[in-house]
Amino acid sequence: MKDEKLSTDEFNALDEVRRGITGRPSACVARNTKRLSGLKMLSIARNGQMTLTDKGKEKLFLRRCIIGMRALTTDPAAKLDGEVAAFLGKKSHIVPVEGGYAVTPKGLETLADIEAQGI
């Protein structure tokens, strides 16, 4: 089984591809293309155009959720984008409170598991 833990640099490359690359890819994307395409998170067309696969999109989304929950543990008024807030609310990881969101015990347990895995 491949190690699918991604470095910050690899996440940055995925995010850059998500936003769209015009012209030549940055050094960050070029450095990480081989591994990310090998992990099936990035696809490269014959013309060199790079796009995120569903797996890559999911990985980026989950990272945004983790970052959002970590931010909420220190600041209930931390900003979450609507998609992340809706997902975490649906999964009972956060609840709305006055001025923002609070992380539920289930959310804290999930964060503890994530920290234990070193993600």
Nearest CA among 83, 50, 43, 77 for reference residue 64: 83
pTM for this one? 0.86
Hey, how many other C-beta atoms are within 10 angstroms of the C-beta on 87?
Answer: 17
How many Å apart are CA 118 and CA 88, to the nearest integer?
A: 20
Q: Are 85 and 95 in contact (CB under 8 A)?
A: no
Task: Map out the domains of the chain as residue ranges.
Answer: 8-52, 61-117
Q: What are phi and psi of 23, to 5 degrees?
A: 85, -145
Residue type, 71: A
pLDDT in single tens digits along all 119 residues of the chain: 356 789 999 999 999 999 988 888 899 999 999 999 999 999 999 988 899 999 999 999 999 999 999 999 999 999 999 999 999 999 999 999 998 999 999 999 999 999 888 77
**CA 119, chain centre distance (Å):** 11
How many Å apart are CA 26 and CA 111, to the nearest integer?
A: 32
